[in-house]
């Protein structure tokens, strides 16, 4: 069968990888054809093409792995009315969790949606798997029933659904009090986390200071249960708000810094709620001196919103950060804080240039400050210096130029100073610049009609290089400007799919670890080839060929994710010459989950992310292909621009953790 064959090849390639020098680069290939048995090929083709008829056939397969792949493939397939009715009947009659999973990801018409709700509200449809659907589609009446009959929360799917609905449906005060009384009295850790998540993620229903519910939150925060996880503490702290800040800062000081990093980041974010005349500088210094630099960065970001701060406080903040965290992102955050507080450091222009050169991923922020401190000519000169060559500096400088021109009263004057440099980069097919320059390509001062033949040539080049998103943008510009190369059809094709090797064989005594050696330490990720064969096969291929070596983490959202994997353009928008389909999982994104970044369904390539905390809003929408089993403290330390030194896949004995 497919998965049995799949893992045997996986093992063979892994063994071959040992003989390959980690830094050696090989040409990437696009395996657009599938070998192996007819059944294997049919399943993979059905998943990639979202062939609902074929996928429905595979849902009845006796091998549960194959059946599960088919069900998950259906979640993102386009189903007709008869398909939806079949699923609905299966879900209602058999209480099929997988059928409800698929329905939850379909855009149902009003009629079946009302029927599902009606059956649930009347009691004809029992709680349980139906909550997979109600999670994103449930109404205020559904949530009201759940709060009135809390025994429904005994079903994990339903407590998770309630957590989602709490984010978007206003509750009465007494309903909030009922839920927090339930949370406080429950020994079910998952129930507590599911419900708290809704209050944590958005402020819509957070209890007001002084309310009974707020008092419960404060009690739970400082009278911890034996089994209370760190994530629960983070949720409670954000829900409690600024009233809990001082005690939280003291707790950060007294506990292990490796374990409390995300709690400390949450505490730092609360600084934004503090009044400037009530700043407790000793608590602020605890956070600024934290060994995890992301805590200090979050504190600096929050302090930008607390105005005005006393000059002596600002000077102490400046000295502390430079002493404990002398790295580019912290330094530019300090400069931004001073600007926000009206104490601009005009004498730091040489520092800004150094920061940008040391950390190009800060280019947009550096340019924002330069624009405040220099005359227009010097600002445009700096942009011009950063435009050449693909990468994040070129992209950010092109974005800055586009923004500047869009608000400038004399765009022709701006163009006279910089258009030649811009045109040269367009001719050079600078993808980083082109991808953010649509407005400039429409501007006749920057790109006159005499240059439109250049765009027609670039359109052909984009097609040849599988750069279909750029082709679509260039084609749109040509069409709007009346050039011959403008597309009249629905748009260019998409990148071809890469299919997994088809001769793997299941080995229940082995598991596969993706090991990332980073500039902050080692991260070990347990891969899940059963759930995401396309993704794991691609990860193996890219790691074997050294594509991830030397690639930065280009996106860090504190208390959410770190993201990397753009070995191509290195501006956060690149990837391989192929794509892989979205492979949704029945599992949920938790702290340490590893998923594939995408710009929409079936657009995944090489970029991946690792979560800092529970993120169930990603469930079913993104591919979940592994989890961190060692090195989560390294994930917490990763900051913008940190590097994957090398990536490899190892085979280990035993499928357990």
Residue 25's pLDDT band, with cuts at 50, 70 and 90, is very low
Indicate the pairing of strand 593-596 with strand 624-630. Answer: antiparallel
**Locus of tokens 């009845």:** 60
Angstrom distance (rounded) from CA 283 to CA 396? 36
* Structure confidence by residue, pLDDT tens digits, 374-432: 999 999 999 999 999 999 999 999 999 999 999 988 888 888 989 999 999 999 999 99
pLDDT of 157 reads: 96
- CB–CB of 577/494 below 8 Å? no
450 alpha-carbon distance from chain centroid: 41
**Could you tell me if residue 570 is left (phi over 0), alpha (psi between -120 and 50 degrees) or otherwise beta?**
left
> Mean of the per-residue pLDDT values for the chain?
90
Q: What is the CA radius of gyration of the chain?
A: 27
Q: Is the pLDDT of residue 201 over 70?
A: yes
Rounded CA-CA distance 31/544 in Å is: 16
The Cα–Cα gap between 610 and 619 comes to: 14
| pLDDT tens string 502-551 | 544 445 567 899 999 999 999 999 999 999 999 999 999 999 999 999 99
- Average pLDDT on 70-98 reads 92
- Concatenate the DSSP letters of all residues of 184-226 into one string: HH---HHHHHHHHHHHHH-STTPPPTTSHHHHHHHHHHHS--T
> Which pLDDT band, with edges at 50, 70 and 90, does 652 fall under?
confident
**β-strands 551-557, 521-527: how paired?**
unpaired
Cα(98)–Cα(402) distance, rounded to whole angstroms?
47
Q: Which one, of 96, 148, 105, lies nearest residue 125 by Cα? A: 96
Stronger pLDDT, 474 or 8, i.e. the higher one: 474
* Of 302, 175, 312, the residue nearest 242 (C-alpha): 302
Q: Which residues have a Cβ under 8 Å from the Cβ of 152 and sit 6 or more positions away?
A: 127, 145, 146, 158
Asked whether residue 156 carries a pLDDT value surpassing 50, the answer given is yes
- In the predicted model, is pLDDT for residue 17 greater than 80? no
Of all residues in the chain, the percent with pLDDT exceeding 90 is: 77
List the beta bridge partners of residue 244: none
How many Cα atoms are found within 13 Å in the side-chain-facing hemisphere of 156? 7
Instruction: Tokens 């998950």: give the residue.
Output: 72
Q: In angstroms, rounded to a whole number, what is the distance separating the alpha carbons of residues 73 and 87? A: 14
Give the pLDDT score at 19. 31
pLDDT value at 345 more than 80:
no
Query: What integer pLDDT is reported at residue 509 of this predicted model?
Result: 65
pLDDT for the residue 30: 47
Compute the distance between CA of residue 549 and CA of residue 647 in angstroms, rounded to an integer.
Answer: 6
Could you give the CA distance from residue 394 to residue 363 in angstroms, rounded to a whole number?
Answer: 9
**Tokens in use for 91?**
């879900």
What separation in angstroms does the CA of 512 have from each of 222, 525, 627, 645? 40, 8, 11, 20
pLDDT at residue 20 is higher than 70: no
Question: Which residue is associated with the tokens 């071809």?
Answer: 496
Confidence check: pLDDT of 198 > 50? yes
d(CA 511, CA 627): 12
**For the chain, what's the residue count?**
657
Give the SS3 label for residue 251. helix
- Give the global pTM: 0.92
Backbone angles phi, psi at 334, to 5 degrees: -60, -45
- Mean pLDDT of all residues in 550-573: 97
What per-residue confidence (pLDDT) applies to 3? 39
In order, the DSSP letters of 515-562 are: EEEETTEEEEEEE-TTT-HHHHHHHHHHHHTTTTTTEEEEEEETTTEE
pLDDT for the residue numbered 409: 87
d(CA 573, CA 568): 8
Distance CA 352, CA 372 (A): 12
- What pLDDT score was predicted for residue 351? 86
Run of H or E residues at 512 = strand 510-518
Structure letter (DSSP) for residue 579 = B
Q: What is the pLDDT of residue 147?
A: 98
Looking from the CA of 148 toward its CB, the CA atoms found within 13 Å total: 7
SS3 259: coil
Q: Residue 456 in contact with residue 485, Cβ under 8 Å?
A: yes
The pLDDT tens digits for 290-333 are: 999 999 999 999 999 999 999 999 999 999 999 999 999 999 99
What pLDDT digit, counting tens, does each position of 593-623 carry? 999 999 999 999 999 999 999 999 999 999 9
Summarize the confidence of residues 275-302 as an average pLDDT.
95
């Amino acid at each position: 069968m497919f998965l049995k064959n799949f893992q045997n090849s996986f093992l063979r390639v892994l063994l071959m990888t040992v003989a390959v020098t980690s830094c050696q680069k090989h040409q990437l290939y696009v395996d657009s054809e599938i070998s192996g048995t007819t059944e294997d090929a049919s399943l993979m083709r059905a998943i990639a093409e979202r062939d609902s008829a074929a996928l429905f056939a595979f849902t009845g397969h006796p091998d549960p792995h194959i059946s599960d792949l088919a069900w998950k493939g259906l979640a993102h397939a386009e189903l007709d009315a008869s398909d939806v009715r079949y699923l609905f009947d299966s879900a209602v009659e058999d209480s099929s969790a997988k059928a409800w999973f698929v329905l939850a990801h379909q855009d149902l018409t009003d009629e079946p949606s009302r029927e599902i709700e009606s059956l649930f509200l009347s009691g004809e449809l029992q709680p349980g798997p139906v909550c997979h659907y109600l999670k994103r589609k449930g109404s205020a009446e559904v949530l009201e029933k759940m709060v009135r009959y809390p025994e429904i929360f005994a079903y994990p799917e339903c407590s998770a659904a309630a957590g989602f609905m709490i984010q978007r449906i206003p509750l009465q005060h007494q309903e909030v009090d009922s839920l927090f009384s339930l949370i406080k009295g429950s020994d079910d850790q998952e129930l507590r986390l599911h419900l708290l998540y809704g209050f944590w993620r958005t402020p819509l229903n957070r209890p007001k200071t002084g309310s009974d519910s707020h008092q419960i939150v404060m009690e739970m925060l400082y009278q911890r249960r034996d089994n209370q996880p760190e994530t629960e503490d983070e949720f409670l702290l954000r829900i409690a708000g600024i009233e809990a800040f001082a005690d939280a800062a003291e707790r950060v000081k007294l506990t292990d810094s490796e374990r409390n990093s995300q709690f400390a980041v949450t505490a730092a974010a609360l600084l934004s709620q503090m009044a400037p005349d009530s700043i407790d500088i000793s608590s602020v210094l605890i956070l600024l001196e934290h060994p995890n630099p992301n805590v200090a960065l979050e504190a600096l970001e929050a302090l930008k919103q607390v105005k005005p701060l006393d000059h002596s406080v600002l000077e102490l903040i400046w000295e502390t950060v430079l002493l404990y965290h002398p790295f580019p992102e912290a330094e530019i955050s300090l400069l931004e804080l001073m600007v926000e507080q009206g104490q601009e450091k005009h004498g730091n222009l040489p520092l800004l240039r150094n920061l940008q050169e040391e950390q190009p991923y800060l280019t947009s922020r550096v340019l924002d400050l330069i624009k405040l401190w220099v005359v227009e000519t010097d600002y445009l000169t700096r942009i011009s210096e950063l435009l050449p060559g693909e990468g994040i500096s070129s992209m950010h400088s092109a974005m800055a130029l586009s923004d500047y021109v869009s608000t400038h009263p004399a765009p022709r004057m701006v163009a006279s100073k910089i258009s030649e440099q811009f045109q040269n980069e367009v001719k050079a097919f600078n993808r980083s610049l082109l991808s953010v320059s649509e407005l400039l390509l429409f501007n006749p001062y920057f790109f006159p009609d005499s240059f439109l033949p250049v765009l027609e040539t670039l359109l052909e080049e984009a097609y040849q290089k599988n750069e279909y998103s750029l082709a679509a943008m260039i084609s749109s510009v040509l069409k709007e400007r009346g050039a011959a190369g403008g597309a009249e059809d629905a748009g260019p094709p998409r990148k071809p799919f890469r299919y997994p090797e088809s001769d793997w064989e299941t080995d229940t005594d082995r598991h596969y670890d993706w090991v990332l050696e980073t500039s902050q330490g080692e991260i070990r990720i347990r891969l899940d080839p059963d759930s995401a064969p396309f993704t794991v096969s691609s990860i193996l291929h890219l790691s074997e060929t050294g594509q991830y070596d030397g690639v930065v983490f280009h996106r860090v959202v504190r208390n959410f994710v770190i993201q990397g994997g753009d070995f191509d353009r290195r501006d956060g928008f690149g990837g391989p010459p192929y794509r892989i389909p979205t492979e949704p999982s029945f599992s949920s994104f938790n702290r340490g989950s590893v998923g594939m970044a995408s710009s929409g369904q079936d657009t995944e390539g090489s970029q991946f992310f690792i979560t800092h905390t529970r993120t169930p809003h990603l469930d079913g929408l993104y591919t979940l292909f592994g989890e961190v089993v060692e090195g989560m403290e390294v994930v917490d330390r990763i900051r913008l621009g940190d590097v994957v030194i090398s990536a490899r896949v190892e085979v280990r004995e035993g499928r357990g953790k």
